[in-house]
């Protein structure tokens, strides 16, 4: 409890400020993408933030599916927002903003992967026994060296997804993890619906039967996107926008 009147007033002022911050934020959550983009075009901080928080998880998961590295995926997402927000006039309101943003994030991830490419082994070169034997060996090594518990089902699934070819992995992430429809996935990747279906079928076929049964009957929660990561991406993007454009989003907070 605050011990002085000054401290009490400071607490009350902080509470009032928090309420003021929550009211407009709650209102913006109900706005459509097109409405938020229109406000963002006028450098509205909350519109930018609402869009980022709305799509952070999807973009992170798409970038993560390409790069298979969380730190690199964050970098790709930040670059995608910078490219999108500094070229917002190129977005056409008749299109799907989420798909447009996802394509930008995918392209950023692909460019980053090309710059940092290392030799990888395709799942085409591994049978199921080899793949999941490697997963089990990794779990055993982690358990013996770090004293951590044996790898659980979610960790095994994440490793199995990581081992998929990139084209299959990205479709799987959007369709099964993010739960986009076939048409939405096709729009995000600029491919047709038939290709989405084919890649998804092949991805599923490459995962072991028990893992396939798991994601058919349970809601997936892999490559978790937590609030701290979301806050970090929002803060970094605002800081970068302020550094290149006077009066850019984040310069003045509502």
pLDDT, one tens digit for every residue, the chain (254 residues): 445 555 545 545 555 454 345 545 566 888 999 999 999 999 999 999 999 999 999 999 999 999 999 999 999 999 999 999 998 888 887 778 999 999 999 999 999 988 876 444 343 433 444 344 434 443 444 444 333 333 466 777 787 888 888 899 999 999 988 989 999 999 999 999 999 999 999 988 887 654 655 555 555 566 777 778 888 899 999 889 888 876 666 655 54
- Exposed / middle / buried, residue 163 (Cβ in 10 Å: 0-12, 13-18, 19+): buried
Is position 57 within any domain? yes
Number of domains in the chain: 2
Is position 52 within any domain? yes
Residues 196 and 230 in one domain: no
Residues 13 and 82 in one domain: yes
CATH of the domain at 67: 1.10.1740.10
> Which range of residues forms the domain containing residue 207?
123-217
* H helix or E strand, kind and range, residue 189: helix 182-189
Residues 135 and 47 in one domain: no
* Nearest alpha-carbon partner for 100 in 170, 36, 187, 230: 187
| Intra-chain end-to-end CA distance of the chain, in Å | 29
Residues 59 and 139 in one domain: no
Residues 151 and 106 in one domain: no
Alpha helices in 147-192 (DSSP H): 153-162, 166-172, 182-189
């Amino acid at each position: 409890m605050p011990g002085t009147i000054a401290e009490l007033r400071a607490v009350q002022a902080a509470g009032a400020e928090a309420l003021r911050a929550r009211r407009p934020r709650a209102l913006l959550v109900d706005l459509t993408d097109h409405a938020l983009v229109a406000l963002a075009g006028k450098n509205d901080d909350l519109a930018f933030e609402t869009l980022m928080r709305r799509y952070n998880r999807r973009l992170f998961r798409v970038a993560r599916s390409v790069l298979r590295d969380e730190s690199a995926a964050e970098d790709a997402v930040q670059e995608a927002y910078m490219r999108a927000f500094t070229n917002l006039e190129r977005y056409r309101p008749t299109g799907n903003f989420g798909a447009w943003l996802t394509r930008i994030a995918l392209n950023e991830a692909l460019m980053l992967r090309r710059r940092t490419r290392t030799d990888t082994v395709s799942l085409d070169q591994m049978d199921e026994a080899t793949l999941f034997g490697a997963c089990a060996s990794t779990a055993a090594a982690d358990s013996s060296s770090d004293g951590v518990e044996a790898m659980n089902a979610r960790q095994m699934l994440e490793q199995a997804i990581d081992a998929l070819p990139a084209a299959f992995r990205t479709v799987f992430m959007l369709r099964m993890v993010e739960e986009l429809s076939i048409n939405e996935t096709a729009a995000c990747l600029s491919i047709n619906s038939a290709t989405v279906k084919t890649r998804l079928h092949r991805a599923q076929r490459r995962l072991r039967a028990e893992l396939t049964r798991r994601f058919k009957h349970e809601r997936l929660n892999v490559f978790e996107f937590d609030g701290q990561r979301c806050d970090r991406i929002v803060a970094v993007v605002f800081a970068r926008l302020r550094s290149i454009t006077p009066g850019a989003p984040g310069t003045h907070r509502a």
